[in-house]
Structure 1
């Protein structure tokens, strides 16, 4: 979209301002009605590659054996009293729950202590016993059915307590926590944002306009998620990212427009001309800014898990909503308000309304005079903060992302610590075809000899360290005419390095001839998830780098500026992610933030990279646009940088501060990887806006000298045809003291 289209938008806002505002109001009401049902369309989970071996194993077990255990009920005396299984009250409740579940058509594979009296299903202190089952259906159906079962059977009655755990219970706990955390985050972010806007603008009316656009973007986000959730799988966690992006980007883009409009009025332009200049110049910056964010988020589409793909769908959609709201709602509002945009002026308004920020210009001047002295300490600090990346490990989310008082986490902890073996955490193996008794027995015997394997249950018997026992009554459930299932119970800690190594050892065992043995279970899922993301990560990074380079070349006409931007962005991102490793993996600040240290979540770290990268380039566009304008007008190298920073410093710092607030608010979440994502994104934004834009950019420009704007002649000619540049009229005033056309 170039100047002609932007000019048409400005004319439409001037001539049909009230009509546009009425249509916008109708659209917001419609989006609000749609968005009210968004949570009902979103899913938990989505971290797994559907084509991975572990996922195929889960599907095969569902089809042939009624599914893996995904819900547990833990039954014992309230508060861990002495009366456990064997006492009349506990046994009566246990049998009642067992009978109810066995009669329920929505569940299968109900394995209860009160049926089997198996010592594996009673805690070592005999205080509690387990009922394990599989809830049928797809992601949505399982969630709804599991929630109904939990509501029906859990709770305390007559001194006996029933608690729910397992994958489905944890997913329900997480979804409920996300909903509550979102409300808390918005309750913090919106008032703080309004306060910062008032302080920045010094005018209540001017401050309200960006906030209105941010709220429109949030409402549009919920409507978008409802639509997307109706046609494809969308993660419930997309709510958190897209609302933060919607609020932040909506405010950022409106901030650019309102700030520019006030500048033009201050320069003496009449309202119509001020609006035309605002839409033509700031509008161009908004479009390129949005393109960089969308390009970074689009890279998430290469990953198979719908958890990551849903962020690409929703994130790109939110960027579009924010742009449309900014370009088609703010201009008509400004046309109607005119000079009244400065109503509600506060005492410091004159200072705030200055178009430049002398501090940033002086800082840039200092850095350019002493680039090594000023930039090297900053660079050293950022590299030090990034150093924990050298010891990073990756995992997938489990019950430990929940607070310690969550029922799903408490049950998981009890099963791991108090029961002889974690039956639900066993490695699951299923064949893709029929297997004879002799080759199956030989295969199970070989598996049982592996280090870390406690026993192997198969239809031919139970195998322990090469010794076999005859099959028991439950063994028949492990055989089908066209499939065999084995459960490999281990003594390795869930998701540990030893557990992942054991999965590799199991997959390396020679399988029976003529069939494929699919290895699944929790630890196999982790191995496959890491490999799935790791295999595609180079492609995703390559796409981000190439699209960003192309966009910045089209914007600047230089091949050096994109390379400079990518290098500095890599440094700031490394520092932000390194800090998250230090906090969330190594456990520093865990007591303050209330989380359990664990390996970095693979999917969330990739998401953090893409989002932070896109937002960093967002501010790169803000700053580079002014520097290029000054350069094209013939300003010398020092003036290009110092005046470019002076005239964008306030905008960048305000925009970064407001967007960082939206992300930092998620630091209040009770879900640890949401805390990591929110704090990491906010920190990346602050590092980029302060350390990179304030110090490293002017230092790099000083060191690059005239080469900073270099491009080969062929590419210069190409840019002349397809690139977007400021019009000469805007650039002509670039060397003057007043603010030129641009951002």
Structure 2
């Protein structure tokens, strides 16, 4: 007996020590909660090994050119050709070009490039390329915008471009992170109180959630020291960590209450919770983390940073819950009903609307299975209309100054805003006949306005004459010979169109250029080329990620459930959980249906990085409910061996908890829906829809009907012994 007491005291001391360390660490991490967001950066969408990225690097290094990331818009009441306007325009262009970190600054006054002058002749562009990483480009774009925007007679100067858009997205995301926490915590407190009916029971998961928030920011702060972290990571990781921490806490507290009602005291009930529900929570967190780890296989910093942050947050949430909740329940469980306004209502597994609904499902499992599957497939149909495109100003609020200015540029400077592939010929000498022939050929391709480069400008296959001291389309901002002189070998061309960079026609044009190898090796960059390279990278990574997710989660589920059918069923039903969310990406955001309800507008495109991100997150979160429900069904099956009865009882006993967990997780994600940044709105909407569909259609209809149809096949595992009977888990340590 003494040995048993000593053995019990040792784990208790360890738990207390771990709990105290977590609290102290959370207090020490408080100063990092604001610093983490400021160190995150936008961008990270490019694969360093892709053709477009390598081409941009070589163009900047050898030719001092490349795609511009920053634009100054100069507007005047007169003409940009006036003497005063030309003098100020030249002076401003020179001043921008001499700023730190600027590769080039070019304008109509220095190049004669008609693309940089508006249709009405009252506005002009200064195109600027900035040197450095995404974070450096964002910072320098902000500095240039602050320095040069405003009144510069005779001009009114405003700033736009990708660098300014990214900076605006980053700033809005940082501001809304604090607001999201301030909104979500009171809402969660209300939801938890309504779910549990007592202040004490509601306070436990809420306290665990707050600990996870501070820990999440500390994790993100640490990640910024070793990798580029997306500016969207703090918002997403905080919502995910808070939601999972509360989700796991609800599951454990609900099981604790059930054991207390069965006659166990607080200490014994807490032991049972640790050895049953604690095992489920641990397996669930491992499954979610494995699903999210697939993002680490994608060679894009944006997805890798979100994957690393999410995996770390899941591990953190699981650790905090398993360290704190059983300990608090063990010593304060007798006070769990403190703060209750009314008597607690008790239910059984054989009454109530929930039991009647499940009974109806189990009476016609085949019909329910087919109808629910058909509905989920129909919800995914809008995704067939997806049009891929990169995040741009259309993802900002409709009245955001950066967005309105960018839209004005699209309207007033159609050629400057259109798709402009840059073609690098690394083995062709400047002025060589091969370069001239390729320029002439490309200028005759459909949708191409003209092709320019150091060897001249071509329209419809004809070289255009010089216009005095300027030439149309000279892309370097200096004389053509100077553009090629900085490189000992190679030349480059600029293909000018009016096409939207995300349009299928622009993508077809880039594919056509890349397929032309008649002049020898060539490389293509530009916004459209970047999009195609991202799609190519994602297609390759998707195969690896799918294999990792299926194998890792499948093996883990088979080990946990002692079944071969359930892992396969879980993989398929989790895929169906995502159908509604993927359809919503296109229906609500790309096409803008009901966009006014969310306070946004149609984006016109869907960023290809978002579906993969959402796939990994929703898949992992869906597995959370799958494990919890299946664990309880298996526990019932081991008691009596009746599959249909086990399915019904397991669903009834977990129904209230799953509902409460679903509402809590949705509440944690709700602040994302109110974001002014469409990216965050999309992430929040898809997560909420995915969780809602999973907790209702999938878990209440699809899973029970499938498990009823499968019968004893649910619990079949090769080379395993027959069904093991199990008594009710006892505080002595029997496990399910």
Give yes or no for TM over 0.5. Answer: yes
CA contact (8 A) 2:417 2:498 kept: no
Q: Report the Cα distance in structure 1 between the residues aligned to 2:327 and 2:112, rounded to whole angstroms.
A: 73
The aligned counterpart of 2:58 is: 60
CA contact (8 A) 2:75 2:155 kept: yes
CA contact (8 A) 1:202 1:345 kept: yes
The aligned counterpart of 2:333 is: 338
Q: Report the Cα distance in structure 1 between the residues aligned to 2:671 and 2:262, rounded to whole angstroms.
A: 37
Distance verdict in 2 for CA 1:356–1:679, change over 3 Å: farther
Q: Report the Cα distance in structure 2 between the residues aligned to 1:306 and 1:607, rounded to whole angstroms.
A: 12
The aligned counterpart of 1:590 is: 595
Q: Report the Cα distance in structure 2 between the residues aligned to 1:360 and 1:151, rounded to whole angstroms.
A: 60
The aligned counterpart of 1:508 is: 515
Q: Report the Cα distance in structure 2 between the residues aligned to 1:410 and 1:269, rounded to whole angstroms.
A: 65
Q: Report the Cα distance in structure 1 between the residues aligned to 2:154 and 2:457, rounded to whole angstroms.
A: 38
Match of residue 563, structure 1, among 541, 548, 568: 568
Match of residue 400, structure 2, among 400, 406, 414: 406
Match of residue 616, structure 1, among 615, 622, 631: 622
The aligned counterpart of 2:104 is: 109
- TM alignment of 1:30-49, pairs within 5 A: 30-49=28-47
Q: Report the Cα distance in structure 2 between the residues aligned to 1:525 and 1:9, rounded to whole angstroms.
A: 61
Deviations 1:550-574 (A, max 9, x none): 1111111111111222222222222
The aligned counterpart of 2:498 is: 491
Q: Report the Cα distance in structure 2 between the residues aligned to 1:535 and 1:431, rounded to whole angstroms.
A: 27
The aligned counterpart of 2:558 is: 553
The aligned counterpart of 2:116 is: 121
Deviations 1:196-224 (A, max 9, x none): 10000111121011112112212111111
CA contact (8 A) 2:410 2:417 kept: no
The aligned counterpart of 1:100 is: 95
Q: Report the Cα distance in structure 2 between the residues aligned to 1:357 and 1:61, rounded to whole angstroms.
A: 72
| TM-score normalized by the length of structure 2 | 0.91
Distance verdict in 2 for CA 1:245–1:12, change over 3 Å: farther
Deviation (angstroms), 1:90: 6.0
Q: Report the Cα distance in structure 2 between the residues aligned to 1:579 and 1:143, rounded to whole angstroms.
A: 31
CA contact (8 A) 2:386 2:605 kept: yes
Q: Report the Cα distance in structure 2 between the residues aligned to 1:208 and 1:30, rounded to whole angstroms.
A: 22
**1:151 partner SS:** helix
Aligned CA-pair RMSD: 2.9
Q: Report the Cα distance in structure 2 between the residues aligned to 1:630 and 1:346, rounded to whole angstroms.
A: 33
Whether 1:536 and 2:535 are equivalent positions in the alignment is no
| TM-score normalized by the length of structure 1 | 0.90
CA contact (8 A) 2:59 2:65 kept: yes
Deviation (angstroms), 1:246: 0.6
**1:38 partner SS:** helix
Q: Report the Cα distance in structure 1 between the residues aligned to 2:6 and 2:102, rounded to whole angstroms.
A: 60
Deviation (angstroms), 1:672: 2.2
**1:105 partner SS:** coil
- TM alignment of 1:200-211, pairs within 5 A: 200-211=195-206
CA contact (8 A) 1:67 1:136 kept: no
Count of residue pairs the alignment pairs up = 716
Whether 1:380 and 2:386 are equivalent positions in the alignment is no
**2:96 partner SS:** helix
**2:128 partner SS:** strand
The aligned counterpart of 2:436 is: 441
**2:73 partner SS:** strand
Deviations 1:642-668 (A, max 9, x none): 110111111111111111222233122
The aligned counterpart of 1:22 is: 20
Whether 1:677 and 2:683 are equivalent positions in the alignment is yes
Deviations 1:14-56 (A, max 9, x none): 4466544432221002222334321232221112222111111
**2:423 partner SS:** strand
Distance verdict in 2 for CA 1:557–1:615, change over 3 Å: same
Q: Report the Cα distance in structure 1 between the residues aligned to 2:83 and 2:156, rounded to whole angstroms.
A: 14
Distance verdict in 2 for CA 1:609–1:223, change over 3 Å: same
Distance verdict in 2 for CA 1:440–1:137, change over 3 Å: same
CA contact (8 A) 2:629 2:650 kept: yes
Deviations 1:708-740 (A, max 9, x none): 21222x2x26x99xxxx9x9453589xxxxxx9
- TM alignment of 1:387-402, pairs within 5 A: 387-402=381-396
Q: Report the Cα distance in structure 2 between the residues aligned to 1:371 and 1:512, rounded to whole angstroms.
A: 64
Deviation (angstroms), 1:353: 9.1
Whether 1:76 and 2:75 are equivalent positions in the alignment is yes
Q: Report the Cα distance in structure 2 between the residues aligned to 1:9 and 1:499, rounded to whole angstroms.
A: 70
> Which range moves more in the overlay, 273-282 or 115-124?
115-124
Ranges in structure 2 where 5+ consecutive residues have no aligned partner: 472-477
Q: Report the Cα distance in structure 2 between the residues aligned to 1:504 and 1:627, rounded to whole angstroms.
A: 53
Deviations 1:286-313 (A, max 9, x none): 1011011111111112211111111211
Deviations 1:150-193 (A, max 9, x none): 11122356785321111111110111122233334333322221
The aligned counterpart of 1:421 is: 415
The aligned counterpart of 1:371 is: 365
**1:608 partner SS:** helix
Deviation (angstroms), 1:321: 0.5
The aligned counterpart of 1:252 is: 247
CA contact (8 A) 2:563 2:715 kept: yes
**1:108 partner SS:** strand
**1:454 partner SS:** strand
**1:131 partner SS:** strand
**2:45 partner SS:** coil
> Which range moves more in the overlay, 376-385 or 206-215?
376-385
Q: Report the Cα distance in structure 1 between the residues aligned to 2:560 and 2:339, rounded to whole angstroms.
A: 37
The aligned counterpart of 1:737 is: none
Q: Report the Cα distance in structure 2 between the residues aligned to 1:469 and 1:409, rounded to whole angstroms.
A: 35
The aligned counterpart of 1:360 is: 354
**1:601 partner SS:** coil
Distance verdict in 2 for CA 1:97–1:343, change over 3 Å: farther
Distance verdict in 2 for CA 1:88–1:448, change over 3 Å: closer
- TM alignment of 1:201-350, pairs within 5 A: 201-347=196-342, 350=344
Distance verdict in 2 for CA 1:434–1:30, change over 3 Å: farther
The aligned counterpart of 2:127 is: 132
CA contact (8 A) 1:35 1:224 kept: no
Q: Report the Cα distance in structure 1 between the residues aligned to 2:451 and 2:528, rounded to whole angstroms.
A: 16
Deviation (angstroms), 1:88: 8.3
Deviation (angstroms), 1:253: 1.4
CA contact (8 A) 1:13 1:20 kept: no
Ranges in structure 1 where 5+ consecutive residues have no aligned partner: 1-6, 734-739
Distance verdict in 2 for CA 1:128–1:229, change over 3 Å: same
The aligned counterpart of 2:474 is: none
Q: Report the Cα distance in structure 1 between the residues aligned to 2:8 and 2:493, rounded to whole angstroms.
A: 68
